[in-house]
Structure formats: structure tokens, C-alpha cells
Amino acid sequence: MRLLRPFLNWDGLLATLAVLALTYATLAVPNFATGFNISQAIAGISEKALLVLPMALLMITREIDLSVASMLALTSVVLGALIQAEVAMPLAIAAALLTGAAAGLVNGMLVTRLGLSSLVVTLGTMALFRGLGYVILGPSSVNVLPDALTDFGINTLGPILPWTMIPFLVLAPIFVVLLHFTPTGRRIYAIGGNPDTARYSGVNARRIRLMLFVISGLVSAVAGIVFTARLSNARADNAIGFELDVITVALLGGINVFGGRGNYAGVFCALALIATLRNVLGLSQIGGDAQGIVIGLLLIVSLLASNVVQRILAAVQWRNTVKAQQRDVANAGTTKGR
């Protein structure tokens, strides 16, 4: 049982699965281990890796943001339209970031001020924000972008690390520290674990949740800039379906759908696992629709498996507690006999 204990932990099990998947792909899938393919696989998850950072925090507080992909598309359109209008790139990037923050603020205000469900609100704004992108740019796209932006999208730092992954590598430690090592992180867990207790303890849940929605919009804007640079393309239908992958990564990574539980270690393992899975499916000539089916099934399996693991852990803990109580009774009896 001691040898199996690390695998009974969800994060440990997920890390093991990720390592096994990478090992299998390296040994059995042709062209997987080439530097070009690894670089492309990493670049392919750049935006989703960014989007899952605020999504995890929102889900821990019992909220969700289904509009992340639409905010990505809207900010991509704003960036492309301003560049097409010959606005300086720094100003266009600043406008895209402000657009993302404003979109997140709209979501946050509707949820925290009007008391609406985040699921319903962001389902509505998912269509609204993408619709605004079509209003701005129509069905056309912007493909002529500054060299500095396209170079950022295609160049690598060293042999395999794409520049598009750098924003995630910068932001990820900040989010990890925020959640796991600050009072704000403890308040986030408290809000998700028991909102009433958190409120009576003086936690301003409304302000924290509003802040998280704004952060979600801002990070979605960063992802929109990265996506535009990587594909050298700005259009309103960018990143359709990304929200499914992001939510799957969060849930598979151990973020509890009912809030109050989860950590970034599991999320990062899930990110590696899904990136490997999608890349292997692509190398096996399996198209995007079939990949979506696999990811959807993985989402369902992750929920079921998480529940099973939690029950196993609870059973093991209960058995250990009973054994400890039996030892205490036996020791008390021995002492009394003496």
C-alpha cells in the first residue's frame, strides 16, 4: 500500500499518465520526438495554457467563464483592425489588452453585482463578444501584420521553445504564488469551500470574484495577441471550441467543479497530457472533429475517475483511522492491565 500511495493521489496519478503518454509517443509514434514536432506541439498549446490559468481560479471559487475563447477572438480582431488602420503596434496591443479587461469586467459585473449565474452570463457573452468581432471585421481577416509580431509567432528561443510560450512561462509562476502562497489564495479557496463561512470571516467574495473575471479577460487578451502572432491572422472565428479544451484541462487537473479544491500542479500535468494526446492524434491523421470527440470523452472520464479516486482515498483514510483507534484501545488496555 505504501508503494501505491503516490498513485492514489490524483496529481501523482496524472503525472504518471502524462509521463507514460510521452514515453509511448516518443517510442511508438513516428516523428513525435523530432525537434520541429515538439516545438509545434508546445506552440499549439500556448493559448490554452494561458486561458487555463484564470479559469482554474474561477472554478475554485465556484464560477466559470465560457467566454474565454470569444474574448480571445475579439481582442485578436481589435488588434488586427487597428494594425490594418496603421495604428502603432504598441498602441494596438494596449487597446487589445484594455478590450480584454473590459470584457472581463462586463462578465464580473453581471455576476457579482446582479447576482446572475456565471454559467448563464458567460454563455451569453460567449456569443456577444464573438458577434462584436464580426461587427468590427466582418467575415474577412487581417493577414498583413508587422514583422515583429509575426516573428514572435514563429521564432523559437533555442532549438524547441517557441516564443509564444514565454507569456505562459512568465504568468504561470505568478498564478501559482497567488493561489498557493498568498492570503488572497487562501480567500479564493475559502470562497469556493464555503461561501457563507468566508463571508462571515470578513472575506470580500464579491470583489475577489470580480477581480478574477477581469484577470480572465486580460489573460484572454494576451492569448489573443499570441494567437494572432502564431497564425499571422486576425479574424472573428479564431479559437472556436477552445473553451472545451480549457475546461477539460482544469477538470482533469483536479479542479473541483463544485469549487474549493484543486491546484496548479495537477492542471499543468493535465495540460501536458492533453497536448501529447492531441499531437499524437494529429500525427496519426485523426482530424479535429474526432479529436474533439476524444477530448469530450476525456472530460467525462476525468469527472468519473476523480470521484473514484476520492472515494478510494476516503476509504483508505477511514481504514487508517479505525486502525489507529484500535491501537489506542489496545494500548490503553495494556496500560490498565499493568
- Average pLDDT value for the chain: 89
- Nearest-5° angle of CA 72, CA 74, CA 77? 110
Question: By C-alpha distance, which of 49, 47, 68 is closest to 213?
Answer: 68
Give one DSSP letter per residue of 194-249, joined into a string: -HHHHHHTT--HHHHHHHHHHHHHHHHHHHHHHHHHHHT-B-TTTTTTHHHHHHHH
- Return the pLDDT at 5: 52
**Series of mean pLDDT values for 10-residue runs along the chain (338 residues):** 54 86 90 91 94 96 96 96 94 97 97 94 96 93 93 90 96 96 94 88 92 97 96 93 90 87 92 90 80 77 70 75 73 62
258-303 pLDDT tens trace:
888 899 999 999 999 989 988 988 888 887 777 778 777 877 776 7
Domains of the chain listed by start with CATH number: 5-320 (1.10.3470)
